[in-house]
């Protein structure tokens, strides 16, 4: 069976036309196939599933996995014997290789480690094709034919706002797309969230993008600039990702730009897992994922109740199977049909927050910096970091280091990185304090907040 991008997109539409039962049949068949493939090609899963029935089509039969366990068994977890943790680590140490094919065929991405363990993820062609088809389907739910024409007439210019400085899935994926397609290379422009806000505003005013894709926190800051008249752009669609915002914020962003605002819920492990409808709920793309809201003991959480975490299964990526994986997000599933008319499950996610740090300048003005600009986990030796704003002009930096890391060397690198960022925003008077205590975990979902603003 061909699984080209076009086939995947058409199959998504066929499934919706056939109804929820057809979508669930696809999910069950793909889940069964993925479990069988993992058992056949991954030593880790072969060992983990040795006592299970030969055919497994119910996710509840599988034991739970998590990032820490899988990373500890990386070489046995992957299904391609050429992929090793040593090769992957060597690859991600070279920033010039961001977006380049790993071993000539895979996309390599890392996560920041909000669950306490940074992850290295190998994404195969099937995973990327499913992700691209999913985004095509999602755009078609949000945009009318007139909207697509507006995007075309405005030059199809797209601004992608993401964290740079590491092999994150967003920047790696965008870089790969630009390297592989000349049209995208011209139309898709990268902007770093580390860029001082006035400079970013000037660049966007010059580009005049028809679409913006970016983290929720930076989009919220840009909406304020648009309201103040410093930013003057007219995007047709704004897509916010990765972080949560208050419900009223999405409406504020839409009004500020006079555009449609879409929200995509996903992760490096499962790509685009769900998209928002007009009622503000997220609808999972269950053709290619399984989502299980569970309590702290991994028992199913009934619809209408907030889960402790969510278990996910990625039904696309064969090279590094994600099966019944504790993602760490807390979700709530709507107990009744969504008013938008979509018969599939509707969820809301509580596990992510957009924490913006705001500082007074020496001139008495206010400068806001999105949390992702402070990410320092790409510095070698850091397993986890947490930056706490203790006063309007002081930050306390908590670090958990990898075994064998030199604490003084790591701190010096972190200090230099954050001081550079503050200097670019004319915040040289903000002080940094090296904390003795490690990062603190906070509920719900068991994740770490990497940036904690002043209360």
Q: Name the average pLDDT for the chain.
A: 89
Q: How far apart are CA 126 and CA 64, in angstroms?
A: 24
**445: confidence class by pLDDT, cuts 50, 70, 90:** very low
pLDDT score recorded for residue 411:
96
Report the interhelical angle of 216-228 vs 197-207 (nearest 10°): 80
Percent over 70 (pLDDT), the chain: 94
**pLDDT at residue 419, as a whole number:** 94
**H/E run at residue 310:** strand 309-314
What letters, b where the CB count within 10 A reaches 16 and e where it falls short, cover 116-143? bbbbbbbbbbbbbbbbbbbbebbbeebb
Closest CA to 284 of 207, 347, 193: 347
Instruction: Give the model's confidence band at 177: pLDDT under 50 very low, under 70 low, under 90 confident, else very high.
Output: confident
pLDDT tens track for 81-95: 999 999 999 998 898
d(CA 422, CA 438): 23
Choosing among 3.30.460, 3.10.450, 3.30.70, 3.30.300, the CATH entry for 357-452 is 3.30.300
Which candidate, 208, 202, 130, places its Cα nearest to that of 173?
130
Domain boundaries, the chain: 357-452
% of the chain residues with pLDDT over 90? 64
- Calculate mean pLDDT across residues 268-273: 88
pLDDT reported for residue 352 = 54
329 versus 203: the higher-pLDDT residue is: 203
Tens digit of each residue's pLDDT (9 = 90 or more) over 10-54: 999 999 999 999 999 999 999 999 999 999 999 999 999 999 999
Question: By CB neighbour count within 10 A (0-12 exposed, 13-18 middle, 19+ buried), where does 207 fall?
Answer: middle
List pLDDT tens digits, range 393-418. Answer: 999 999 999 889 999 999 999 999 99
Give the model's confidence band at 244: pLDDT under 50 very low, under 70 low, under 90 confident, else very high. Answer: low
Do the Cβ atoms of 95 and 433 come closer than 8 Å? no
Higher pLDDT among residues 226 and 455, named by residue: 226
Q: How confident is the model at residue 267 (pLDDT cuts 50, 70, 90)?
A: confident
User: In this structure, are residues 282 and 263 in contact, taking their beta carbons and an 8 Å threshold?
Assistant: yes
* Residues 124-152 pLDDT 10s: 999 999 999 999 999 999 999 999 999 99
Burial of 414 (0-12, 13-18, 19+ CB in 10 A): buried
Predicted confidence (pLDDT) per residue in 280-321, tens digit? 899 999 999 999 999 999 999 999 999 999 999 999 999 999
Binned at pLDDT 50, 70 and 90, residue 222 comes out as very high
Q: What does the pLDDT look like over 338-367, one tens digit per residue? A: 999 998 899 998 755 567 889 998 888 888
Give the model's pLDDT for residue 444: 45
Q: What is the pTM of this model?
A: 0.84
């Amino acid at each position: 069976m061909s699984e080209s991008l076009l086939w995947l997109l058409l199959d998504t539409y066929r499934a919706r036309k056939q109804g929820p039962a057809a979508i669930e049949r696809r999910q069950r068949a793909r889940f069964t196939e993925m479990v069988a493939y993992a058992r056949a090609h991954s030593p880790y899963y072969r060992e983990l599933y040795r006592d299970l029935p030969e055919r497994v089509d119910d996710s509840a039969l599988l034991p739970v996995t998590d990032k820490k366990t899988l990373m500890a068994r990386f070489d046995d977890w992957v299904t391609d014997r050429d992929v090793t943790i040593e090769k992957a680590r060597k690859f991600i140490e070279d920033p010039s290789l961001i977006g380049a094919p790993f071993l000539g065929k895979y996309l390599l991405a890392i996560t920041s480690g909000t669950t306490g363990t940074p992850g290295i993820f190998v994404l195969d062609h099937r995973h990327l094709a499913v992700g691209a088809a999913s985004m095509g389907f999602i755009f078609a739910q949000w945009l009318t034919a007139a909207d697509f024409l507006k995007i075309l007439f405005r030059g199809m210019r797209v601004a992608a706002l993401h964290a740079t400085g590491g092999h994150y899935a967003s920047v790696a994926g965008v870089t790969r797309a630009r390297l592989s397609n000349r049209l995208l290379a011209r139309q898709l422009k990268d902007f770093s969230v580390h860029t001082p806000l006035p400079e970013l505003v000037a660049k966007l005013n010059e580009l005049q993008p028809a679409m913006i894709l970016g983290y929720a926190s930076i989009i919220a800051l840009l909406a304020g600039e648009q309201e103040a008249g410093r930013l003057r752009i007219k995007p047709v669609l704004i897509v916010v990702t990765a972080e949560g915002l208050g419900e009223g914020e999405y409406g504020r962003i839409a009004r500020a730009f006079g555009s449609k605002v879409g929200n995509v819920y996903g992760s490096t492990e499962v790509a685009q897992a769900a998209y928002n409808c007009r009622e503000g709920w997220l609808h999972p793309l269950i053709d290619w994922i399984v989502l299980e809201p569970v309590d702290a003991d991994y028992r199913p959480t009934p619809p209408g109740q907030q889960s402790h975490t969510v278990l996910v299964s990625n039904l696309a990526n064969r090279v590094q199977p994600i099966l019944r994986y504790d993602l760490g997000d807390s979700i709530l599933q709507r107990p009744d049909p969504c008013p938008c008319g979509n018969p599939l499950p509707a969820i809301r996610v509580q596990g992510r927050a957009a924490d913006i740090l705001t500082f007074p300048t020496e001139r008495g003005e206010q400068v806001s910096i999105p949390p992702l600009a402070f990410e320092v986990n790409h510095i070698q030796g850091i397993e986890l970091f947490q930056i706490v704003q203790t006063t309007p002009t002081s930050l306390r930096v908590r670090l958990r280091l990898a075994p064998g890391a030199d604490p003084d060397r790591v701190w010096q690198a972190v200090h230099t990185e954050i001081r550079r960022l503050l200097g670019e925003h004319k915040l040289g008077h903000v002080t940094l304090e090296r904390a003795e205590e490690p990062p603190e975990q906070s509920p719900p979902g068991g994740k770490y907040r990497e940036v904690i603003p002043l209360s």
